[in-house]
Structure 1
Amino acid sequence: MLNKLSIKRKLLIYNVLIQGFILIILSFSIYKTLQVSTIDKIESSLKVIILDITDDIIDHKNELSDLSFNEENEYKFKPLYIRLLDVNKEPKVISPSYFPSSIPFTFNHIQNNTIHFVEHENYILGEIKFKMKGETYILQVATDYKVLNHTMENLFYILLFIVPIILIFSIIGGYFLIYKSFAPIEKILFDLKKINATTLSERLKSSNTKDEISQLSNEINSLLQRLEISFDKINQFSSDASHELKTPLTIIRGEIEIALRKDRDSKEYKETLNVCLDEILLIQQTIDDLLFLAKNENNKDIYKEDAYIDEITSDAIKELKPYAKLKNINIQSQIKDIFQIKGHPKLLKIAIKNILKNAISFSHENSDVIIKNYIEDDDFIISIEDKGIGIAQEEQTKIFEKFYRTDKSRNKESGGTGLGMAIVEKIISGHNGKIDLKSSENKGTTVKLIFTKNRF
């Protein structure tokens, strides 16, 4: 049943139950404490009366039968029942007042000159055994529970009246505290309901306090920030893929439609298939590049492995030599200094290969591409230089943008997607490095990857 209730109502019910239980225990404790205290007070009063009467009896030198007890008026203690017993042979009443007949004559347990209290039904009885003139006597003083019952009855009605009032105020206070405490959470829920995929940039209002509600708001805002970044990556990937894949898919469709218009010989079909294959490879490369950019969009300072730059450079050259041979380009390796940095070897090789591939693709036939590793001042430098077509001055600041091509026709022939330099920029910035590019049209381009020593 409780599982279907809100947390606020559950807390309110728990508060009522706990407060009710505490008040009942507290009331019972007060009741019992007052009861014991009242009995102790009655016994103390009876003890004083017993001692006073005993002194009077001992001081009385005449016949005990003419004794009269007026302690009830003297001590203002009502009701008070007194009797003196002679227990030498058979117990007999020497000087009685009105005394409850239900109280038995049992004296064996009483010690001499010691006051002993017992309870008989509705009476409290105080007894003392003493000797006088060689004779043994017992003085009994009793009272009923009227005083105690009256006191306890008053307390009962007081508690019966006060406890519900306290419980009501406790419920009201608990209700106020619970709903006041949950008000910020309800505000958070209200604001969260307004946030969707199109409004992920909105954030919850957070106070500058360090309480749990403020921490919750900050954590939710942090989560929204991560979700927004993820959604942006997905949207960017979707738009980039849609933009870049549209052309090759259109080309493939066109080639297939042309091939199907009439019967053709095997050579023409092979040419059509080769065109389609080239476009499919371009699509595959584009998707791989887009996924890489999306995955590493915000991965900064996460590269901690030792990366040996001379080995990475040599591997990149080795893998691209067949491609350079097809383009009639000679790669010259000039590794002057050997050094290492903290980084990701595979990603660094991708960056070097992308620059090296561009250098090969845009170099004049039968020219050289020179790659150097050296240390200059406090910098580790990887330099890749070509003698190619170069990059116009106004385009040099744009080549790190996704899908930007300086020469679309030649880039298309080389199988480029316009993402290579964007990937390079992402990898190098993730390694706390920088890229220096210098280029002149029809003279060539030099790209330097620079890593500062004191950062590793």
Structure 2
Amino acid sequence: MTNLSIKKKLLFYNIIIQFIILIVLSLSIYKTLKISTLDKMQTSLKVIILDVVDDILDHESNLQFDLYNEEKEYNFSPLYIRLVENNRDKKIINTTSFPSNIKVFQDELQKDKIVFKELNDYIVGNIVFNIKNKEYILQVATDYKILNSTLENLFYILIFIIPIVLVFSITGGYFLIYKSFKPIEEILNSLKSINASDLSQRVKKLHSNDEVDLLIDEINNLLQRLEISFKKINQFSSDASHELKTPLTIIRGEIEIALRKDRDKEEYKNSLEVCLDEVLRIQNTIDDLLFLAKNDTAISDNYTDIYLDEITLESVEELKSYALSKNIQLKTNITNMSQIKGHASLLKIAVKNLIKNAINFSFEKSIVKISCYKENDSTVISVEDSGIGIAKDEQERIFEEFYRTDKSRNKNSGGTGLGMAICKKIVKIHNGSIKLTSEVNTGTIVKIYFKG
């Protein structure tokens, strides 16, 4: 069974269930008919017994009257009638070829009450009554020929009908299973043509407005998510390869140049400094990649109570010298002291990344404004610069890994292209949101929102 297809399993189960249902139904009909026929026979015998008792009571003076006419009168065959005197000898007064193997019994008999007993393939109705102070037993019997004939006919009918019904049931079941699984097979055939190299194809909808259409919708949504994920992975791999390949190429070039001929100490020192800078760049890139690959749950396990104003001020203090080297002035405006559950060092990384980006891409002698304030039911950390800005069509992608705008695609910033992606992840694991607005050659404003 484990190697069978679902269609074959369903067909097999359908056959078994239908067979069991037909057998149970047939047995029920057989038993019901048997009980019904037996009850009908007993009812007929009751009428005959009462009629015979009336005839006997009408002829009290002569108990040897003809009893055979009851069989013709009621069209009931075979019918056996016997009148017995209820004494120790059990003398038979009158009989109609009553079967000799049916003994006269008195157990369970009650006066003027009809009692039925099944003896030796016969059903016998008995009644005790008095005539002239003498007690008599009237017995009316018939065999099971009528019942057996009826049941035998029913048996042959069922033997004939059950296979026919079973064949029709199997055929109908196979048709229903085939029709039900046809859309699934079409979906499977469509999915076979979709592979990792081409996820743009979609499963065609049947427009049946049923569960199959819902399944197709979910599959297509899954394919769309996979396509987006694969594109991001390919872009990420390409960018990561580029980011790591470029410094390695520079290091290799510096080493090859240094080894071509003997050089003085200053030249070797310069080469080593270049190599060190590139190694640090590789290290920063790897560290950033490892951080982005971390599980959010593992990070949130180390949460403590932190103050957002302290995080903001500390980040500004640590970057003051860096801003001074770029001839940029940092200006703060802290008006809120909200507390949240979070990871202080991670939040500081996010805020410092935003401030550092603002410094790197601001015009000389401009001001970078850092604010922390309350807005509605949220606490906002805002970083605003007066710099080169970001084009509208690039603002949506600024939080992607390794993405850099054309104006900032250079190494002068010293970044890895992962800063904004890291900011977004840190804000997300703190249940916050980040919003960017920018205008080319005017400046950029990045705001982080925290509930509470």
If the length of structure 2 is used for normalisation, what is the TM-score?
A: 0.80
TM-superposition CA deviations, 1:396-448 (whole Å, max 9, x none): 9869763345377xx53452456657877999998353323464xxxxx7543
Bigger mean CA offset, 88-97 vs 158-167? 88-97
Matches within 5 A, 1:108-127: 108-127=107-126
Q: Which residue of 1 aligns with 2:240?
A: 241
1:181 partner amino acid = S
Structure 1 alignment gaps of length 5 or more: 297-304, 440-444
Q: Give the drift of 1:165.
A: 1.5
State the AA in 2 paired with 1:335: N
The residue aligned with 2:436 is: 434
Residue deviations 1:253-300 (CA, integer Å, cap 9, x gap):
11122223345555544332221111122233345566778999xxxx
Distance 1:235 1:307, change over 3 A: farther
Q: What is the distance in 2 between the residues matched to 1:67 and 1:407?
A: 128
Letter in 1 for 2:318: E
Aligned residues of 2:78 and 2:143 also touching (Cα < 8 A): yes
Which residue is 2:152 aligned to? 153
Residues 312, 437 of structure 1: alpha-carbon distance in 2 compared, 3 angstrom cutoff = farther
Q: Distance in 1 between matches of 2:188 and 2:423?
A: 43
Q: Counterpart of 1:83?
A: 82
1:319-358 CA-partner distances (Å, limit 9, x unpaired): 2234345x27464434264476999887775565345435
Distance 1:397 1:145 in 2: 96
Aligned equivalent of 1:100: 99
2:96 corresponds to 1:128:
no
Say which SS state the counterpart of residue 406 (structure 1) adopts. Answer: helix
C-alpha distance in structure 2 between counterparts of 1:358 and 1:288, whole Å? 18
CA contact (8 A) 2:362 2:385 kept: no
Q: CA deviation at 1:225?
A: 2.7
> Could you say which residue in structure 2 is the equivalent of 1:69?
68
Q: Assess if the C-alpha contact under 8 Å between 1:329 and 1:363 holds in 2.
A: no
Equivalent residue of 1:433, what SS?
Answer: strand
Alpha-carbon distance change, 412 to 99 in structure 1, aligned in 2, over 3 angstroms = closer
Matches of 2:425 and 2:440, distance apart in 1: 19
CA distance in 2, matches of 1:65, 1:363: 136
1:145-192 Cα deviation digits (max 9, x unpaired): 111111111111111111222222221222222222222222222222
Structure 1 pair 234/306, CA: closer, same or farther in 2 (3 Å)? farther
Matched with 2:162 is 163
Equivalent runs, 1:309-328 vs 2, <5 Å: 310-324=309-323, 327=325
Q: Secondary structure of 2:203's match?
A: coil
- 2:198 alignment counterpart: 199
**Alpha-carbon separation, structure 2, partners of 1:405 and 1:179:** 58
Check conservation: 1:336, 1:373, Cα contact below 8 A.
yes
Residues 206, 339 of structure 1: alpha-carbon distance in 2 compared, 3 angstrom cutoff: farther
Task: Give distance in 1, aligned partners of 2:375 and 2:241.
Answer: 46
Paired residues of 1:233 and 1:294 also in contact (CA < 8 A): no
| Contact kept? 2:336, 2:374, Cα under 8 Å | no
Quote the Cα distance in structure 1 between the aligned partners of 2:87 and 2:278. Answer: 132
Q: Secondary structure at the match of 2:198?
A: coil
Show CA shifts across 1:4-31 (max 9, x none): 1111211111111111111111111111
Structure 1 residue 41, shift from structure 2 partner? 0.8
- 3-state DSSP class of the match of 1:173? helix
Judging changes above 3 Å, is the alpha-carbon distance between structure 1 residues 237 and 57 closer, same or farther for their aligned structure 2 residues? Answer: same
Partner of 1:373: 371
Q: Is the 8 A contact 1:428 1:434 kept in 2?
A: no
Q: Secondary structure at the match of 1:277?
A: helix
8 Å CA contact 2:312, 2:381 repeated in 1: no
Q: Secondary structure at the match of 1:138?
A: strand
Cα distance in 1 for residues equivalent to 2:408 and 2:212:
56
- Give 2:188's aligned residue: 189
1:126 touches 1:141 (CA, 8 Å); kept in 2?
A: yes
- Whether 1:5 aligns to 2:4 is yes
Q: 1:355 to 1:446 in 2, by over 3 A?
A: farther
Structure 1 residues 234 and 307: CA distance shift in structure 2, 3 A: farther
Change (3 A) 1:272 1:87: same
How much does 1:118 deviate?
A: 1.1
Worse-superposed segment, 418-427 or 173-182? 418-427
State the Cα distance separating 1:38 from its structure 2 match: 0.7
Within 5 Å, give how 1:19-38 maps onto structure 2. Answer: 19-38=18-37
Distance in 2 between the 1:226 and 1:394 partners? 27
Which residue in 2 is equivalent to 1:284? Answer: 283
How many residue pairs were aligned? 434
**Alignment RMSD, CA only?**
4.0
User: Which residue is 2:407 aligned to?
Assistant: 406
Structure 2: tracts of 5 or more residues without a match: 296-303
Q: Of residues 442, 446, 450 in structure 2, which corresponds to 1:449? A: 446
Amino acid at match of 2:312: T
| 1:333 pairs with 2:331 | yes
Change (3 A) 1:242 1:451: closer
Q: 1:266 to 1:138 in 2, by over 3 A?
A: same
2:135 partner SS: strand
1:232 aligns with 2:231: yes
State the percentage of identical aligned residues. 55
Structure 2: distance between partners of 1:153 and 1:27: 13
Task: Give the whole-Å Cα distance in 1 for the aligned partners of 2:443 and 2:357.
Answer: 11
In 2: Cα distance, 1:118 partner to 1:364 partner: 117
Q: Match of 2:89, SS?
A: coil
How has the CA–CA distance of structure 1 residues 412 and 145 changed in structure 2, closer, same or farther, with 3 Å as cutoff? closer
